[in-house]
Copies of this chain bind each other. A is one copy, B any other.
Amino acid sequence: MTRVRVHNFSVSLDGFGTGEGLTLDAPFGHAGERLHEWFFPTATFRSQSGHGERVDADPSSAPDDAFASQWGDGIGVEIMGAGKYGPPGWQDDPGWQGWWGRKPPFHTPVIVLTHRPREPLTLGETTFHFLSAPPIAALEVARGLAGDRDIHIGGGPTMLRDFLAAGLVDHAHIAVVPILLGRGVRLWDGLEALERRYDVASVTTPSGTTHLTLTRKAS
C-alpha cells in the first residue's frame, strides 16, 4: 500500500516552517539557513549531487543522518507547494526552473502545486509536473506517477499543513530546531488534536535538534 510520507521538514521551536521576507536570495526569508543547519553536515546531504566538491559527512551528525537518510528510500514521487519551487512571483518568469540547478536531488517525478500550471520540465532525472489541484486530487495524480512506491510531501509549511489537516499523511518526520524565528509561516496552525490520529515520538540529538515522528494510528 502506497504511503504518504514527510521527511526532514524543519520548524523552529515556535513552529515556523519558513521565515518572513522570502526572495530569490533568501529562500527562507529572515530564517536564512538556520532551520536546516542540522542537515548540512549529514551524509545524506553531503552525498547529494550539485553541492560542488564532495565533502565527507561530520561523524557527529550520524544521529541526525539516521533520520535524514530515510528521505529517499522507497519514494516514487514528491508533491511540493509553489512556495518550495521558487520565490514569490516565479510564475511570472517563464525561465524559472527551480532552485536546484541542472541535477535536482529528487530522482523522481515532482508535482508542483500552483494555481498557474505550465508545461512539464525535465532536469536530469527529475521531471516537474505543474498542477492546480486540492490535496486529495493531487494525491491521485501522484499515485499514478509513483507506481507501488510512496509519495513524499515536500512542503512548504502551508501545503504540508493542508495535507495534515485533510488527514492525508501517514508518516511525518519533523525536525524541531531550537531557535525562535518569531515570524514567518507556521506549520501547526489549525491542527488542533492532531495527536489523536497519530502516535507521536521524539528524540533530541547532540546537534540540539528534536526529531519528531508522527505515525498514523491504525484505524
A contacts, CB < 8 Å to B: 13-15, 178-183, 186, 188-195, 200-204, 208, 210, 212
How often does this chain occur in the complex, in copies?
2
Residues of B within 8 A of A203 (CB): 204
Contact B195 A190 (CB under 8 A): no
Would A182 and B178 be within 8 Å (CB), given that A200-B208, A202-B204 are in contact? Answer: no
Residue of B nearest to A192 (CB): B182
Contact A180 B204 (CB under 8 A): no
A-B contact sample (20 more), CB < 8 A, given A14-B15, A15-B188, A180-B193: A13-B15, A13-B200, A13-B212, A14-B186, A14-B191, A178-B195, A178-B200, A178-B201, A178-B202, A179-B193, A180-B194, A182-B189, A182-B190, A182-B191, A182-B193, A200-B208, A202-B208, A203-B204, A204-B204, A210-B210
Q: How far is the CA of A182 from the CA of B204 in the complex (A)?
A: 24
Can you list 24 contacts pairing A with B, beta carbon distance less than 8 Å? A13-B15, A14-B186, A14-B188, A14-B189, A15-B15, A15-B188, A178-B195, A178-B200, A178-B201, A178-B202, A179-B195, A180-B188, A180-B191, A180-B192, A180-B193, A180-B194, A180-B195, A181-B192, A182-B190, A183-B192, A201-B204, A202-B204, A204-B204, A210-B210
Chain A facing B: main interface SS: loop
Partner of A201, one of B15, B183, B200, B208: B208
Contact B208 A204 (CB under 8 A): no
Least Cβ–Cβ distance between A119 and chain B, in angstroms: 39
Residues of B within 8 A of A15 (CB): 13-15, 188
Least Cβ–Cβ distance between A162 and chain B, in angstroms: 15
Q: How far is the CA of A181 from the CA of B191 in the complex (A)?
A: 8
Most chain B beta-carbon contacts within 10 A, residue among A180, A204, A212: A180
Closest CB pairs A-B (n = 5): A182-B192, A14-B188, A178-B200, A180-B194, A202-B204
